[in-house]
Amino acid sequence: MSGRSRLTGKTRDETLIEMSRNSLCDEDNNGFPHDTEDYPQPDPSEVDKHQQSKDSVFFRDGKRRIDFILSYVDDRDGERKQERRKEYEANLQKAGLELETEDQSESDDGKTYYVKIHTPWDVLATYADVLKIKVPFKANDIPAHKDIPMNWLFTPFRLPNHIMNPEPDYFTSPFNKEKIDFFLIDDKETFFPPSVRNRIVYYILARCAYHKEDSDDKNKKGIKRLLNNGTYGAAFPLHDSRYWKASRDPNSESERFSLYKHWARFFSFFKEQPLNLIRKYYGEKIGIYFAWLGFYTEMLFFAAVVGLICFLYGLFTFDDNIWSKEICSEEIGGNIIMCPLCDKTCGYWKLNSTCNSSWQSHMFDNVGTVFFAIFMGIWVTLFLEFWKRRQARLEYEWDLVDFEEEQQQLQLRPEYEIKCTSRRLNPVTQEMEPYFPVKSQCARTFLSGATVIFWISLIIACIIGVIAYRLAVYAAFASIMKDSPTNNIQMVGSLITPQLATSVTASCINFVIIMILNVMYERVAIWITDMEIPKTHLEYENKLTVKMFLFQFVNYYSSCFYVAFFKGKFVGRPGDYIYMFGWSKLRNEECDPGGCLIELTTQLVIVMAGKQVWGNIQEALVPWLLNWWGSRKARSHPESLYSRWEQDHDLQNFSHLGLFYEYLEMVIQFGFITLFVASFPLAPLLALLNNIIEVRVDAWKFTTQFRRPVAAKAHSIGAWQEILNGVAVFSVVTNAFIVAFTSDMIPRLVYMYAYSPGNDLSMKGYINNSLSVFNISGFSDENRPDDGESPEWFNSSVITTCRYRDYRYPPGHEKQYTHTMQFWHILAAKLAFIIIMEHVVFMVKFFVAWMIPDVPAEVKARVKRERYLIQEYLHNYEVENLKIQLSHRNDDCSSNPVDYPDISRREVLSECL
């Protein structure tokens, strides 16, 4: 045993494998142990790269699998980097990893070295024990699900069973190196799948030091720091084949090819996702993202169908829209003279000039809108509750039950371990652990909070700037369009109004500002999160998630909140207008007589659709162009010269925040379709179409454009779950306020039931009733239109009054220009509607959440059975081992009998369990 490794039990700042002197590796031997008889060392000069398959994922001996690749370029002035690499690779070998280096002369560009890493069985077993990786110990004996009625209808959407379920179903237990024969191990080389192997290797790489043993600088450790300082150029696990063709090597699984064939192609958009294969190849963290995205897309189908029905209802009830007919009528709308919408440069105008916007508004502002707002409040609850059930099922099937505690205790961030110089005793583990002083942590948190507030204030300042643009530009558009010059534009000329032109241009400018601020704040958020030095990877992601979502929430939604809840609400009245900041010459915007809802719809469509289109371009086109440019030289070489590691090296790196941005994009979209859905019932349909493309674009991107990510575990979608819950609750409030204060639904209902003439509950006369009267002579010089701004038909000697949108007493009344009783009735009705809608929706939400258990009964039963079997099998295993040991002792001591003490059953059980 002198030439073999000795396992140790150390887990803190020390290696888990201690190699004896005879087994140490040297550079002359290309990273192979001297005593490795199973793997004879070939001479590098005799290796003909032309004879090696380009898809090889093994060392030159063709037996040891490549679990990880490190690449670097040896700079002329890189003596310090060379020293770091030498120490780091030596320490990796001491930790038990086996290395093999491809010389730069063998690489495609003639400059890059590739260090191939293989993890032998002893190292895998030791770290699988440390990380408590679950492995099979018994085949699952619970009967499969019963056949679903009419299951044949879903056949076109199914994938082959070997793709959907690439592995048999087993009961699993955390790996224990001391009980190796307890588990179902057929072949040690394939027992741990590549995703688990590369996860273990990265765990070692992230904690291995690159300083000498006698060095005082103990902080020099981790592959991340070596990548940041340029010692290594890249570190990544290998794909197992080309994506468009299966590997010629029979020992390679070619799972990448299967994923591309059955998942990543767009024409498979109607097929189910092979989630088990995704999880096996990429790890649980990426698998659960695609599971959530697929489930979200499925649920969007129901919301999209109902939203489309509500939109069609508004489209087909045009003939019942009496108020729009009154606006468009020459007898009514053509004879109503409206007051100027801005000072000086805006003239008087006729109500029928807003005919088109009134018809457009009816498509979204109707009785169906109220129904859809209530429906979406219930839909979002069903979505979140059913996702919890789906997530619980995945947790069990993917061995993620009780994973959070493991994540918190075992996977400290290397940066935290490095920067925390203090140590304290953990009362749970009774071990010394890194500790960050409370005072320093509070100071960093305060600085982080101040930075977030500053950037949110910057966003609000930009939104105020856009509002000022709207106020200033509206006056210019109104002056230019007073004689309707856009009517000369074919098809759409008559649809362009000053309000529409202002809204569209402001929305586009706002979208550009949003994109610019996103790029800037992304770097700031990462910087301040790094500064806080979170303890675990989970804590790091949660803190970054909260910061980024808070910023994105304000960035994307603030303009929609302005249009929905502020525009047209604080305008004053003719003769007593309210101005921006009180002292500026910019008069607050008024809503169109058709309401502000159509403007909210315009804002929502531009920002939401623009974000989705831009996001898909960024996700798909940019990586493709970068990869195309990066591999342009390699395309001229024969296939046999372009090895597997070189192919993957030319792909884009998938950062540890890659999934973060995917989640963020979808959660922002979720906010659009829930917070403002009352203004645009087609929002879920747009989101559904986008997500059908998004699933395949993400799959194509992962499979073809990115290096294989390091596998990581995650038992849920993390902090995004709480964010979705918060958005769901907030959406009920926002939609209730939109229906009450942004749409004209409540004023119309109050008029129909309380103020309409006669007993037929008609809407006739609503427009005249909803407009108040102002005496033109009451305008001051600051408000009165300049000469020549009013249209030619306006005659000041004949027309003495104008109308405006409000409920006030007319001039000459003893309470002139004060609010009428109808105004207070409408306000009371709006508040009552908000209270009733919120209570109804929240009661239904809580009832539905109570009715649907978070964990299916079947999953609970499986978890209990698995735990029972673990205890039973471990007990039997230990008892059998004890019998064997006792029989061996009896055989050895048969000549000299020894009296053994009685061992009670309780003591045996206690020892075993």
| 846-863 per-position pLDDT tens digit | 888 888 888 888 888 888
Per-residue pLDDT band at 491 (split at 50, 70, 90): very low
Task: Tell which wins on pLDDT, 276 or 599.
Answer: 276
Question: Please, what is the Cα angle at 269 between 265 and 271, to 5 degrees?
Answer: 105
Task: Tell which wins on pLDDT, 613 or 150.
Answer: 613
Which range among 28-32, 42-46, 389-393, 447-451 shows the weakest confidence by mean pLDDT? 28-32
> What is the pLDDT at residue 478?
64
> Does the pLDDT value for residue 244 go beyond 90?
no
Which range among 168-177, 292-301, 489-498 shows the weakest confidence by mean pLDDT? 489-498
> Does the pLDDT value for residue 137 go beyond 50?
yes
> What is the pLDDT at residue 45?
40
Task: Tell which wins on pLDDT, 663 or 151.
Answer: 663
Per-residue pLDDT band at 431 (split at 50, 70, 90): low
710: which residues sit within 8 A by CB, 6+ positions away? 198, 199, 202, 236, 237, 283
> Does the pLDDT value for residue 384 go beyond 50?
yes
Which range among 47-51, 329-333, 613-617 shows the weakest confidence by mean pLDDT? 47-51
Per-residue pLDDT band at 900 (split at 50, 70, 90): very low
> Does the pLDDT value for residue 520 go beyond 60?
yes
Task: Supply the DSSP string of 644-706, one letter for each residue.
Answer: HHHHHHTSBP--TTHHHHHHHHHHHHHHHHHHSGGG-TTHHHHHHHHHHHHHHHHHHIIIIIB
Per-residue pLDDT band at 26 (split at 50, 70, 90): very low
Q: Could you give the residue ranges of the DSSP H alpha helices within 171-241?
A: 188-191, 194-205, 223-228
Per-residue pLDDT band at 908 (split at 50, 70, 90): very low
Most confident of 54-68, 405-419, 898-912: 54-68
> What is the pLDDT at residue 215?
63
Mean pLDDT of 12-30: 36
Question: HSE on the CB side for 570, CA within 13 Å?
Answer: 12
Per-residue pLDDT band at 155 (split at 50, 70, 90): confident
Mean pLDDT of 217-232: 80
- For a pLDDT cut of 90, what percent of the chain falls above it? 18
Per-residue pLDDT band at 481 (split at 50, 70, 90): low
How far apart CA 203 and CA 128 sit, in angstroms, is 11
**Hey, CA dihedral for 485, 487, 489, 494, is it positive or negative?**
positive
Mean pLDDT of 661-668: 89
Mean pLDDT of 629-633: 65
> What is the pLDDT at residue 832?
94
* pTM exceeding 0.85: no
Give the 3-state DSSP-derived string for 399-440, with helices as H, strands as E and coil as C.
CCCCHHHHHHHHCECHHHHHHCCEEEECCCCCCEEEECCHHH
Per-residue pLDDT band at 209 (split at 50, 70, 90): confident
Mean pLDDT of 429-435: 66
- For a pLDDT cut of 70, what percent of the chain falls above it? 82
Per-residue pLDDT band at 3 (split at 50, 70, 90): very low
Burial call 783-804: b when 16+ CB within 10 Å, e when fewer: bbbeeebbeeebeeeeeeebbb
> Does the pLDDT value for residue 50 go beyond 60?
no
> Does the pLDDT value for residue 871 go beyond 60?
yes
Which range among 88-92, 251-255, 434-438, 811-815 shows the weakest confidence by mean pLDDT? 434-438
Report the Cα–Cα distance between both ends of the chain, in Å, rounded: 31
User: Phi/psi zone of residue 142: left (φ > 0), alpha (ψ -120 to 50 degrees), beta?
Assistant: beta
Task: Tell which wins on pLDDT, 147 or 163.
Answer: 163
> What is the pLDDT at residue 67?
92
Burial (CB < 10 A; 0-12, 13-18, 19+), residue 837, is buried
> What is the pLDDT at residue 458?
86
Q: Hey, how many other C-beta atoms are within 10 angstroms of the C-beta on 899?
A: 4
> What is the pLDDT at residue 497?
64
Q: Which residue has the tokens 């499986």?
A: 862
724-756: pLDDT as tens digits: 999 999 999 999 998 888 888 888 889 988 888
Q: Which residue has the tokens 């043993």?
A: 213
Per-residue pLDDT band at 479 (split at 50, 70, 90): low
Mean pLDDT of 575-584: 78
> What is the pLDDT at residue 549?
86
> Does the pLDDT value for residue 24 go beyond 70?
no
85-127: pLDDT as tens digits: 989 999 999 999 999 998 888 777 778 899 999 999 999 999 9
Per-residue pLDDT band at 414 (split at 50, 70, 90): low
> What is the pLDDT at residue 486?
42
Per-residue pLDDT band at 913 (split at 50, 70, 90): very low
Task: Tell which wins on pLDDT, 630 or 554.
Answer: 554
**Hey, CA dihedral for 167, 169, 173, 179, is it positive or negative?**
negative
754-796: pLDDT as tens digits: 888 877 778 888 888 889 999 998 888 888 888 777 788 888 7
User: Phi/psi zone of residue 248: left (φ > 0), alpha (ψ -120 to 50 degrees), beta?
Assistant: alpha
**Mean pLDDT score across all residues of the chain:** 79
Q: What is the bridge-based pairing of β-strands 112-118 and 68-73? A: antiparallel
353: which residues sit within 8 A by CB, 6+ positions away? 497
> What is the pLDDT at residue 40?
41
Residue 650's closest CA among 108, 261, 249?
108
Question: Quick one: tokens of 717?
Answer: 């979608």
Question: Quick one: tokens of 537?
Answer: 């990877």
Residue 233's closest CA among 335, 325, 111?
111
> Does the pLDDT value for residue 596 go beyond 60?
yes
Mean pLDDT of 455-467: 85
> Does the pLDDT value for residue 664 go beyond 70?
yes
